[in-house]
């Protein structure tokens, strides 16, 4: 059944993409995410969380940015996973396979990255972060070859499964903004899931990703890429993964500190109980 559905989608999408082009997808994506940030996020947040109204303007800016980020992560993450399972053409030829559906996913991400990049610059006091500037610039540099020349569809799509960790990272910030103690049960559960998922989709995937990359070295398909595309592919992958390792280290340290705080809190409770 999934394969029949996928084949049906494959028949329709090339026609749509031929008439719309990936650039229009990216522009549409950019527009949607801008509308979400400026108009929809606040209304949705107030409906589900009345405490949103008590936040400062700076906090509301970052809150809206993270709502958009979470929505983007879920959409492209699920689509990337679907393509990894069912896009036989791309899986069979990771460098030159039919990139039509991957372009759709990467186009959505490109629109988001440009939107978020501009928001970071405009609201630097609230959400400015040099590492996100580097991350977005690196990803956009690599996506140019995917969208413009249809290269490396498998590897471009593979990297998008990393977005599954984003909702948990954002949720940690939401809890902090709402004043949840770090040792509260919701924070602990989310922190555990964030650590596990971040490791699985950003760190544990490195060996299979680079193994598949190295396997292509020296092949005709690899040489056909040309030096510029080869450099963009390898350099962008290494740059993004250096940041992933750095963020994993920070998450691990944060998790360790929370565990120590929980242990100390439990010890204080037992101590006070004995004193009574």
Please report whether residue 156 resides in a domain.
yes
pLDDT class of 262 with cuts at 50, 70, 90: confident
Q: How far apart are CA 239 and CA 243, in angstroms?
A: 7
> What range does the domain containing 120 cover?
20-271
Please report whether residue 174 resides in a domain.
yes
pLDDT digits (tens, 9 = 90+) for 212-248: 999 999 999 999 999 999 999 999 999 999 999 999 9
Neighbours of 62 (CB within 10 A): 18
Q: How many distinct structural domains can be found in the chain?
A: 1
Q: How far apart are CA 42 and CA 64, in angstroms?
A: 7
Which of these, 113, 101, 102, 171, lies nearest to 137 by C-alpha position?
113
Please report whether residue 9 resides in a domain.
no
For helices 100-122 and 57-86, angle between their N-to-C axes, nearest 10 degrees? 170
Please report whether residue 276 resides in a domain.
no
Please report whether residue 45 resides in a domain.
yes
**What's the whole-number average pLDDT of the chain?**
89
Please report whether residue 10 resides in a domain.
no
Q: What pLDDT score does 68 carry?
A: 98
Please report whether residue 7 resides in a domain.
no
pLDDT digits (tens, 9 = 90+) for 116-156: 999 999 999 999 999 999 999 999 999 999 998 889 999 99
Please report whether residue 13 resides in a domain.
no
pLDDT class of 7 with cuts at 50, 70, 90: low
Share of the chain above pLDDT 70, in %: 88
């Amino acid at each position: 059944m999934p394969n029949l559905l996928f084949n049906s989608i494959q028949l329709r999408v090339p026609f749509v993409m031929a008439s719309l082009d990936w650039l229009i997808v990216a522009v549409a994506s950019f527009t949607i995410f801008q509308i979400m940030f400026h108009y929809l996020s606040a209304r949705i947040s107030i409906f589900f969380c009345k405490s949103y109204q008590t936040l400062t303007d700076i906090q509301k800016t970052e809150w809206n940015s993270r709502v958009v980020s979470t929505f983007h992560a879920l959409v492209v993450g699920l689509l990337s996973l679907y393509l990894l399972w069912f896009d036989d053409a791309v899986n069979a030829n990771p460098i030159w396979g039919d990139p039509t559906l991957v372009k759709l996913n990467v186009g959505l991400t490109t629109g988001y990255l440009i939107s978020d990049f501009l928001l970071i610059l405009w609201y630097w006091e609230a959400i400015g972060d040099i590492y996100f500037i580097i991350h977005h610039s690196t990803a956009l540099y690599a996506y140019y070859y995917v969208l413009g020349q249809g290269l490396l569809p498998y590897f471009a799509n593979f990297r998008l499964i990393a977005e599954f960790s984003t909702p948990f990272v954002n949720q940690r910030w939401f809890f902090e903004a709402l004043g949840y103690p770090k040792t509260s049960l919701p924070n602990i559960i989310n922190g555990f899931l964030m650590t596990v998922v971040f490791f699985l989709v950003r760190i544990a995937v490195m060996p299979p990703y680079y193994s598949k990359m190295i396997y292509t070295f020296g092949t005709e398909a690899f040489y056909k890429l040309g030096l510029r595309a080869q450099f963009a592919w390898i350099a962008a992958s290494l740059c993004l993964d250096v940041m992933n390792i750095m963020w994993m280290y920070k998450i691990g340290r944060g998790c360790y500190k929370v565990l120590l705080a929980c242990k100390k809190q439990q010890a204080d409770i037992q101590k006070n109980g004995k004193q009574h």
